[in-house]
Amino acid sequence: MTDTPPENLELLYEGKAKKVYQTELPYEVLVWFKDDATAFNGAKKGQIHSKGLLNNAISSLFFELLDSRGVKSHYIRKVDDRSMLVKKLKIIQIEVVVRNIAAGSLSQRLGLPEGRVLAHPVVEFYYKDDSLGDPLINNSHISVLSLATPEDLKYLTEQSLLVNSILKEHLLARKIKLVDFKLEYGFSDKEILLGDEISPDTCRFWDYDTNEKLDKDRFRRDLGNVEEAYQQLYDRLKG
Ligand code: UDP
């Protein structure tokens, strides 16, 4: 039975969409994906049937693709329908967002119409702090808050752009546009690894021909057919 969280493992942390459990090995944790959905920093709450299964499957596919292209992540293996085994990380409190097409907060902030193709990918940093609403920050803020060294920030930027080019190409071959996405990183010993998840909860995916949204904007904006969109994305990635 994989539809209930493990009872035998110690719960380390419960987030909005995932639970993290300690395994018998100190450096490995189990990530268990929930069906809970939140938006607008937790102000909107709901459930998306089967979301946990689909995000676990989609994230696993993406981490395996990135691994095959030399991007180091926390991912070890998919364990069952709802969970994956990953390396335990000390999370860097920065969310890295990469954008190829204007949408969401970028459109609002800069007055760019949604769908405007950007001349080159835009990389942004947000301070990972729910109580502050994850504010946009720059290199100077990152330095003053001691969130990362300039060298580490350069690495996060370069890695995120590499992830962008790998995912963008992979999705384009499946007639899907990668609009934007958010990444998180952490330390495993002295090494920085890509962490968290890569899923329709954390990325914007649009159908190439119709611009139909295949991501969490369907939930955020009450567009309906949320589960169907996640399922369609998974089917097209697998196919
Ligand atoms: N994103 C995320 N978690 C957040 C904020 C954003 O995963 O806490 C993702 C979001 O799904 C999108 C990208 O980062 O793919 C850019 O989001 P944006 O800044 O446009 O914010 P939004 O409009 O979603 O509030």
pLDDT in tens, 4-56: 889 999 999 999 999 999 999 999 999 999 999 999 999 999 999 999 999 99
pLDDT digits (tens, 9 = 90+) for 74-89: 999 999 999 999 999 9
CA-nearest residue for atom 7, ligand 1, is: 202
Q: Report the distance separating Cα 130 and Cα 150, nearest Å.
A: 24
Residues 126 and 218 in one domain: yes
Of 34, 54, 87, which one is at a domain's C-terminal end? 87
C-alpha–C-alpha distance, residues 12 and 210, integer Å: 42
* 100 touches ligand 1 (CB under 6 Å): no
Looking up residue 78, the CATH number of its domain turns out to be 3.30.200.20
Of 63, 87, 111, which residue sits at a domain end? 87
Quote the ligand 1 centre to 196 CA distance (angstroms): 14
Domain total of the chain: 2
Question: What's phi and psi for 42, nearest 5 deg?
Answer: 90, -5
105 close to 93: Cβ distance less than 8 angstroms: no
Question: Could you give the CA distance from residue 124 to residue 197 in angstroms, rounded to a whole number?
Answer: 18
Q: Is residue 150 part of a domain?
A: yes
Contact 88, 27 (CB under 8 A): yes
Residue 109 belongs to some domain of the structure: yes
Looking at the fold, whether 25 and 137 belong to one and the same domain comes out as no
**Alpha carbon of residue 127 to chain centroid:** 15
Do 146 and 209 have their domain in common? Answer: yes
- Kindly state whether residue 219 falls inside one of the protein's structural domains: yes
Establish if 4 belongs to a structural domain: no
Q: Which domain holds residue 22?
A: 10-87
Indicate whether 180 and 104 sit together in one domain: yes
- Using DSSP's 3-state secondary structure scheme, residue 208 falls into coil
Would you say the CB of residue 181 lies under 6 angstroms from ligand 1? yes
Which residue in this structure is represented by tokens 């709802």? 82
Q: 160 alpha carbon to ligand 1 midpoint, in Å?
A: 15
- Using the mean position of ligand 1's atoms as its centre, give its distance from the Cα of residue 227 in Å: 19
Tell me whether residue 18 is in a domain.
yes
Neighbour order of strands in the sheet with 83-87: 10-14, 18-22, 28-33, 83-87, 75-80
Ligand 1: atom nearest CA of 107 is 20
pTM of structure = 0.97
Question: Which CATH number fits the domain that encloses residue 156?
Answer: 3.30.470.20
Which burial class, exposed, middle or buried, applies to 104 when counting CB atoms under 10 A from its CB (0-12, 13-18, 19+)?
middle
Cα of 122 vs centre of ligand 1, distance in Å, is: 13
Q: What is the pLDDT of residues 138-163, one digit of tens each?
A: 999 999 999 999 999 999 999 999 99
Please identify, by atom number, the ligand 1 atom nearest to the C-alpha of residue 216: 11
